[in-house]
A and B are shown apart, each in its own frame.
Chain A
Amino acid sequence: MTAAAPEPGSRKEPQWAMVIDLQKCIGCDTCTVSCKAENRTPPGISYNVVIAMELGEFPNTRRAYLPRPCMQCDSPPCAGVCPVGATYKGESGVVIIDHDRCIGCRYCIAACPYGARSFDFGEGYDEMIAYAEVQAPEYGVRRGPRWRGEAPIGTVRKCTFCLHRINRGEEPACVETCIGDARYFGDLNDPNSVVAKLASSPRAFRLREELGTQPRVIYLK
């Protein structure tokens, strides 16, 4: 039902994709912070992290950064394993969680090869005034105060390319705020879009390609 890979170009809907230029990423974590602010994620949950790595042996060392949002895989293992079909691949290629259906079994967390999913344990930033008064605006759904314990508490959460922003015609928060301009967002179906052009660059690669998940997040090395 959900895990079939939509062939880019086979649908009229835009097929959203993200390109991240690793040469431009300076590891400033602005994307992580803006994502947390945008999606009001609780402590311990970041949809978007920047993995910092030391490569090589001293003195020939180099620091490298790898920003990791959800890959919005074209064959998403997370959706395949979900027993109730709460995780599914939407028309526009974004992998969506139906928080009103998720039973919180966390099978999808175990199955995601990119560590892109988090369970909402219900924690909050108590020191932040009114943090608990509003829930995450995920998918544009307002669920009332977070303290009532309504979903997404007790369910699994993840990056959705800021679907609520896309639906308003805006870019994901991380793309908009990226200081190094390292992120591009757009429609893979549109051959003239920047992402479509960059996706075929010889620098383009995807993470853990051997698993066949076909990520929609494309890196430039």
Chain B
Amino acid sequence: MSALTRDEAALRLDHEQTAPGPNRLMRAGWYLLLVTLMAAGGIAVLQRTVNGLAATNLTSTTPWGAWIAFYIYFVGLSAGAFLLSSLIYVFGMTRFEQVGRMALLTALVSMIVALVFVLIDLGRMERALSALVHFNWLSPLAWEMRFYLIYILLLAAEFWFAMRADLVRRAARSRLARWLSLGSRSTDTAQDHRMLRVLGTIGVPIAIFGVHGGTGTIFAIVKARGMWFSALTPIVFIVSALVSGTALLALLYILRQKALRRPVDSRMAADLGKLLGGFLLVDLGLLLYEYLVPLLSMAPHETEVLHVMMEGPYAWSFWILQLGIGMVAPAIILMTRLRESVPLTALAALMVVVGIVGVRFNIVVPPLVIPTLRGLPAGQYFPSAVEWWSSAGIIAMGLLLFSLAADLLPVDDDAHEIGGTAHD
């Protein structure tokens, strides 16, 4: 990191000259906050490393908890953000082009965060890589680990092609940019556009069926548990990925424009809001079927899970987080004229981003609370302090990665790979 500081300084100077940058104090405060959170998270992760999973509130009855919920949460953000970037690079929706690079960066960082969550959840962290050596083709988890890797490489490549011309342009002024441009010289973006399109086209099925449908499949094949064992599960995952990814992008776009003291394109904010609203409606519709079918099937192992979800100790997570904050309230904002206000769109997006945490928690925990055999003890789970702090630290790490990349790389430059010729 220290080797980059001079470049960083040079770039920052550069930034301040060319674009109205954010308040120095604000930036410093933001980084300080992230580093503090990471330090606290680091202590928690250390405790977890020393004490093993005994530092968590997990048990053999409820073997997965907050970390797995956050893992699928970030996989969802990633797949959603990526699919949005594909609207731009594959399907040519130029009106979202301004957030194209940010979408790719978000997808990349979210994926890294997701994998860190999986890593600290392993009982034997030191064997994480052996998951790539040994393979059981029947296990969706085994497939997922490989898909995640391919997908991360693909995202990194796409991100690079999206920035390449700007890196070349900056190369004269910044060593980092020169280094990252990997020796390419041309500032012609036609080739990049083609590559983005090719990579995006390969990426769409990988993201839908591999990364997100696949993550849903991890749960969907578990016939031992109510509410997981359903062909709808992977589809719900894909749709809620679209919801959460779009929401995060809308939020990041508006917040960053404000922080950088740049004008918010209110039409784009409204368009993103409209898109988010549409995805939300589909998600709500799926939710209806997802709950209605098990409910009316009257199969006890399914209805028991629904009971725990709706009236049990996690009811707040379902009613307030998932349904209230995550779905209904933002849907009301986004489906009415309220969405014409940028702050309200940002609020709706924020609510979705927070609410989806509840969605993920509800997927993971309630089915693991019901005992698999009648008479066995029921599970009880609420994350321990170590789990909370480590999660906060890992999320801060993700935000730090994102902020550093956004500060040091041409993420915010006016991007016109496919729509126009801003730099020519």
Give the B-binding residues of A (Cβ under 8 A): 1-3, 44-45, 49, 51-53, 66, 68, 77, 79-86, 101-107, 109-115, 117-123, 149, 151, 153-156, 207-208, 211
Contact = CB atoms under 8 A, between A and B. Distances in A.
B contact patch SS: loop
B404 interface: no
* Top-3 shortest CB links A-B: A104-B123, A51-B375, A113-B224
Interface string B207-223: 00000000000100111
Contacts of B376: 49, 51, 68, 115
Contact residues on B (Cβ < 8 Å of other chain), bracket: 35 or more
Contacts of B295: none
8 contacts: A82-B136, A85-B135, A102-B123, A103-B123, A104-B122, A105-B141, A114-B373, A115-B372
Nearest to B129: A103
Given A81-B222, A83-B141, A211-B224, A110 B52 contact: no
A81 B135 CA distance: 11
Contact of B124 (A110, A121, A154): A154
Nearest to B52: A122
Given A1-B138, A83-B139, A110-B222, 17 more contacts: A49-B376, A81-B221, A82-B139, A83-B134, A83-B141, A85-B136, A101-B127, A104-B122, A104-B127, A105-B141, A107-B139, A111-B224, A112-B372, A113-B224, A115-B61, A119-B59, A121-B54
Contacts of B128: 103
A35 to B, nearest CB: 15
A106 B64 contact: yes
B222 A109 contact: no
Contacts of B141: 81, 83, 105, 107
Nearest to B127: A103
Contacts of B124: 102-104, 151, 154-155
A42 B140 CA distance: 31
A105 B122 contact: yes
B122 A103 contact: yes
Interface of B: 51-54, 58-61, 63-64, 121-124, 127-128, 130-131, 133-142, 145, 218, 221-225, 368, 371-376
Contact of B142 (A49, A83, A112): A83
A3 B142 CA distance: 15
Contacts of A81: 138-141, 221-222
Contact of B139 (A66, A80, A119): A80
A167 to B, nearest CB: 25
B224 A84 contact: no
A85 B130 CA distance: 11
A104 B133 CA distance: 15
